[in-house]
Amino acid sequence: MEPYRVPFAFDRRDAPRYVLRNRGTETVRGVTATLLGSGLMPAGHPRALAPGDELELRIRGDDLARDTTLVIRWLRPSGEEYLWRIAF
């Protein structure tokens, strides 16, 4: 298996509004966001993100950096599943 770079950029500048941007070269599908810890985030449906597409997330919490992790899940065109953990 060849190395695979995470295709996303995670923009934190406008918290509690966060933006996940596909900066890769392929469309990924089944993109979901799951929050672990005490933070709160509205539920969303799995999506496809073409290169350059964005997914806006609203995440709130008293101390996200202390006790919350965001997990992004996606499928490559080949069907391979990937997970990316993001700490605040």
Task: Sketch the domain layout of the chain as residue ranges.
Answer: 8-87
Model pLDDT, residue 85: 98
Distance CA 68, CA 64 (A): 5
Model pLDDT, residue 76: 98
Contact indicator for 35, 68 with CB cutoff of 8 Å: yes
Q: pTM value?
A: 0.94
CATH architecture of 8-87: Sandwich (2.60)
Distance CA 73, CA 86 (A): 11
Query: Which helix (DSSP H) or strand (DSSP E) does residue 21 occupy?
Result: strand 17-22
3-state secondary structure of 35: strand
Model pLDDT, residue 83: 98
What residues in the chain have per-residue pLDDT under 50?
none
